[in-house]
Amino acid sequence: MTSEQKKLTKTKISILLSIGFSVSIILLIMYFTIDAQTIQYLSQVSFRTEFFFFFGLAIGLNVLYWFIWGARIKVLSRIVDPKVQIGLWETTKIVITNQFLAGITPSLAGGEPVRIYLLNKDGLSAGGATATVFGERLIDALFILILVPFGFFVFKDRIEITLISYGLTIGIIVFITGIVLFALTLKYPQRTKDFLMWISLRVSRVSKKKEQSIKVVHRIGQEIDNFHDSMVLFLTKGKKSFLTAGGLTMLMWCTGFMIPSMILLSLGLQPFFVESYAAQALLLIIVMLPTTPGSSGVTELGMAGLYGVVLGASNQYLLGVFVLLFRFITYHMNVFCGAVFQYRIFKS
């Protein structure tokens, strides 16, 4: 089997695992929550105009989320290199394309290399493209850091499920550790550079292609310098644009957090705006854990646990349907559209 065939097989397995986990957990949740009352209620609600309106609005919000994300990448890329002009549609295509690999890798990590590669393809240096994507993560991290205490405040006396509590605790520890490591890397770039080059040199000694390994070592040093310079640029000369990117981040997440409320309205339930925002903030921590491909299965369980509390005992019969509709929009739709765009761009 060639390396190309191995990669294809690995990708197929990741796709099957991610979709399989998601569908299996959704079916399991539906099995324990759907009853005769659910069928009777849905037969009345699903043909109403309100259902199609709010469900369509939820899909529209997901698409709007892509464009706002694209606008943020556009702003950050302009800070890194003002000479490189990347249009909004181009950055939005990057966002949609990254959804596929993000959806089949743990912690959604597969999307970041795709964004870096496509930004580099559009004219940014590899270090500049990396800095743009890391700039996104930095802003996201700050936003989540502010939002998580709000989520805990809303749910502090309501989360009794041990698994979710443990997941949140581990997620917060991993999240804070990542922030600290990122800050140390930014403050001590030379030590980071020396450490990575030390590892590369050790690897190059056992490599058969000596010349290529030496080139890689020099490239690593060059790109670390590019990355550091770009991040310093974000936090000094590019402050105004960085704040604009922060505003777009807030708008982006607020748009995404509205989707569950629209689905609840489509089912004829209260939107629970405050509780829903809090639940989404806590869910982000769980999703970041490197568990299953695309955090599938884990996200569904987290949704069921958090929104089971939000909906209360009287509406548990609609919990499975709610999780199904939510994941269809925010996961299955994203993976499908990402696959289509990836095929069109990479022809693979």
Per DSSP, the three-state class of 297 is coil
Q: What is the C-alpha separation between 14 and 102, in angstroms, rounded?
A: 11
- Overall residue count recorded for the chain in this entry: 348
CB-side neighbour CA atoms (13 Å) of 253: 24
Residue 291 and residue 25 in contact, taking contact as beta carbons nearer than 8 Å: no
Question: Cα–Cα distance between 331 and 24 in angstroms, integer?
Answer: 14
Q: Residue 161 pLDDT > 60, yes or no?
A: no
Whole-prediction pTM value?
Answer: 0.81
Give CA–CA dist 132/97, Å, rounded: 17
- On the 0-12 / 13-18 / 19+ scale of CB atoms within 10 A, 123 is middle
Measure CA of the first residue to CA of the last residue in the chain; give whole Å: 18
31, 231, 278, 282 from 150: Cα distances, Å: 32, 29, 6, 9
Determine the Cα angle at 121 with ends 120 and 125, to 5°.
25
Which among 6-10, 109-113, 140-144, 330-334 has the top mean pLDDT?
330-334
Record the tokens describing residue 187, joined without a space: 């403050």
> Which carries the bigger pLDDT value, residue 116 or residue 214?
116
pLDDT of residue 94: 95
Averaged pLDDT score across all residues of the chain: 82
Please report which confidence band the pLDDT of residue 47 belongs to, taking 50, 70 and 90 as the band edges: confident
Provide the pLDDT for residue 164: 57
**For position 68, what pLDDT does the model report?**
98
For the CA atoms of 153, 243, 129, 224, the dihedral, rounded to the nearest 10 degrees, stands at -80
Question: Which residue would you say has higher pLDDT here, 178 or 333?
Answer: 333
Which pLDDT band, with edges at 50, 70 and 90, does 93 fall under?
very high
> CB of 253 within 8 A of CB of 66?
no
3-state SS class at 254 = helix
Q: Is the pLDDT of residue 208 over 80?
A: no
User: How many Cβ atoms from other residues are within 10 Å of residue 266's Cβ?
Assistant: 22
Weakest mean pLDDT among 18-27, 58-67, 223-232, 237-246: 223-232
State how far the Cα of 133 lies from the Cα of 186, in Å rounded to an integer.
15
